[in-house]
Chains A and B, each alone.
Chain A
Amino acid sequence: MTLSRREMLQLLGASAVLTACAGAPPAASQGQGPGTFTVYWNAGHDYQAYRKVIAEFEAAHKVTVNFQKYQWPDLRTRLLADFASGTVPDLVEEPGGWVQEFAISGNARSLQDFVDKDGAAMGFPADWREATVSRNSYNGQVYGVQLHFTATLLVYNKQMLAEAGVEPPTTWQEFLDAARKLTKDGVYGTALNQDHGYVNPWLMQNGVRVYDPATKEVLTPVDQAVEAMRFQADLVHKHKVAPVPVSSTDYSGPQKLFSAKRAAMIITGPWDLGPIRQTSPDIEIGVAAPLTGKELATNAAGVSLFVPSKAARPELSWDFIKRVTALEVEQAATKEVGMLMPRKSWAELPEVKNDPITKAFSEALAVARDSTEEIRLTGQSGRYDEALKVMYQSVVIQNEPADQAVAKLRETAAGFLK
């Protein structure tokens, strides 16, 4: 049979359409086939210590690790799209709080069967600080394993404080006095973060509870929450010892000012120490204990690992978790970047005990608390987070009355927490 040119074109067109309509082959995970193990990771946590683990993991399981790095907001966007499509990664690093959220929604896999089998051998949960286990559990089951365990503290420029004759402050009043003395010649005493997550230590130090499950109210006692917000706004707008933060997705503003020697003290965690050392190796960094408002407190933070419920090979994911949370890997990461770790035995390592900065952070972990766990367990932490951002920025950046902003947040929260 011979085909005319038109018939040939029609045939080609039809076959192209059929090809386009054909579905993609089903994928085990992330569409890279059984030889690929996909990990979502934070871009700032790509340490050599973890690269070594990846190489060993690849050799042991004859797989290629597809190590995808994201900033947290992009990682979340990608992950939620994956959950919707059903094509998920094998393992996810999360910034703290997502494990319980995704356990509630059914997107995270319980790791309890693996913990029951391997927990004793790897020291989980016995060797992990208690707070790091509870914040990764839901309904009595473990859904995630803490990778880093951090806290925010007062980081200061030793030389600047010495030259101004200022001792590291321990209370809010001392902090304000020190900031006043240090603010001169284009240098600010301190710099507040535009990211609303940094509000939690201030709230905790003033005795504020983020969420009370009994009353279903947020930010109680209200007057203490207002006082904490007003204190921060006053640092910027009344006392002018801190620049006005600028709203963005970047939380490194205070670190950049500190590195540029434009701010003498910042409230931050160990994640900012690496960039400071890298950009300004001449700065002698000091780390003080958490400030005391009505009480001595700071918030616990840090990242965890979890396995999506639709991950194709959870046993491989669990093996990766075991390898990357081993004590010697924690030790290597601390040595490499000074990161803080969740194991109790980590606190006894010479790298921790002999380094004054790591030691100061490590000791602070004893008073660090996870202030947002109660709101996370409502499943409404995303909504609360958005409302908190608006409240924090309107007070600290736009200098709106703290009492009105807190009242508005509480009213909004009452709507979705009823």
Chain B
Amino acid sequence: MSLSARYARTAYLFLLPALVFFTAFFYVPIANVIATSLHTGPQADVFAGLSNYADALADPSVRHSFLVTLGFSGGVVAGSLVFGLLLALVLDQPLKGRVTFRAMLLVPYLTSVAIVGLLWRNILDPQLGILNRLGLDQQWLNEHPLATIVGVTLWQTVGYTMVLFLAGLQGIPETYQEAARIDGASAWQRFWRITLPLLAPTTLFVSVMAVISGLQAFGQAYIITNGGPGDATDLSVFHIYATAFKTRDFGYSSAQSVLLLVVIVLFTLMQLRAGKRGEVTY
């Protein structure tokens, strides 16, 4: 056996545990979900062909939950980009205590969505919550439920987005800013013409991750609103969960999962394409 073949064999042997892990816990379950999506009945044991897919595409409740999810994802993406970048710009300045602020903003991200959900559920309760006890007469969970869970999600994740933008900001060479300053560019012009274009890879990464996590969101609807009031926060994954575990139709819920997977892959590809077009170098 040649030396390169021996190296290759060794490399594959080291890769094997990871491959086994991913095969066992990702690829086999995905294949299982695809197989289940072709069946129907409480035990998902009756072959149904593609009828679950046809039903899902024609089901108004599936369409509604997808629109709710798009609204949620749009809010999370826009909020992550705007607030994450704003916070990064502020905390990139030589402020006193900025390290402490950065750490404080990151803490919610390190907390589980269940804890965050319960925390905000108790804060926002219109009757017994802290906000109303402090005199704020709010009914956000009833009047603006989707916007409220978007806000809670942003509160939890914006610290992480900020860290990503901070890393991006610190990767921009100071010489560009200095040259622009000497040329008489204003702060706004420097931000618009130098900082923002050079942050494009970070912006792309943040938006791709936010879209993926937004389309996959579940805990917010499950813990805070239970998908309600009515079906106002019936996010796609929550709808899939309810189809599987409440109405007990695993075949139908699997078909919806596969469709969601396709949507996520398409969104990601579209974003990566758009991001590549927007990349700049100086």
Interface residues of A (CB under 8 A from B): 6, 9-10, 13-14, 16-17, 20-21, 73, 76-77, 80, 83-84, 101, 105-107, 194, 243-244, 246-250, 253, 256-257, 260, 262, 379, 382-383, 385-386, 389-391, 393-394, 397-398, 400, 412
Contact = CB atoms under 8 A, between A and B. Distances in A.
B92 interface: no
Contact of B229 (A10, A249, A397, A412): A397
Interface of B: 6, 9-10, 13-14, 16-17, 20-21, 24, 42-43, 61, 121, 125-128, 139, 141-142, 145, 222-233, 242, 244-248, 250
Nearest to B250: A84
Nearest to A256: B128
A273 to B, nearest CB: 19
Contact of B127 (A250, A262, A389): A262
Contacts of B230: 247, 390-391, 393-394, 397-398, 400
B226 A247 contact: yes
B142 A398 contact: yes
A247 B228 contact: yes
A386 B65 CA distance: 14
Contacts of B16: 13, 17
Given A13-B17, A83-B43, A246-B125, 12 more contacts: A17-B16, A17-B20, A20-B17, A20-B24, A76-B245, A76-B246, A194-B229, A246-B142, A248-B228, A382-B248, A397-B228, A398-B142
A83 B45 CA distance: 13
Given A6-B10, A17-B20, A247 B225 contact: yes
Contact of A16 (B17, B225, B247): B17
Contacts of A244: 126, 139, 142
Nearest to B228: A247
Contact of B245 (A10, A77, A246, A250): A77
A10 B127 contact: no
Given A105-B43, A386-B242, A249 B226 contact: yes
B128 A260 contact: yes
A250 B224 CA distance: 10
Contacts of B13: 9-10, 13-14
Contacts of A262: 127-128
11 contacts: A9-B13, A10-B9, A243-B126, A243-B127, A247-B229, A247-B233, A248-B121, A249-B226, A379-B42, A383-B247, A394-B229
A406 B282 CA distance: 63
B141 A246 contact: yes
B254 to A, nearest CB: 11
A21 to B, nearest CB: 7
In this complex, which of B10, B13, B125, B250 has the most chain A Cβ atoms within 10 angstroms of its Cβ?
B13
Contact of B141 (A106, A247, A385, A386): A247
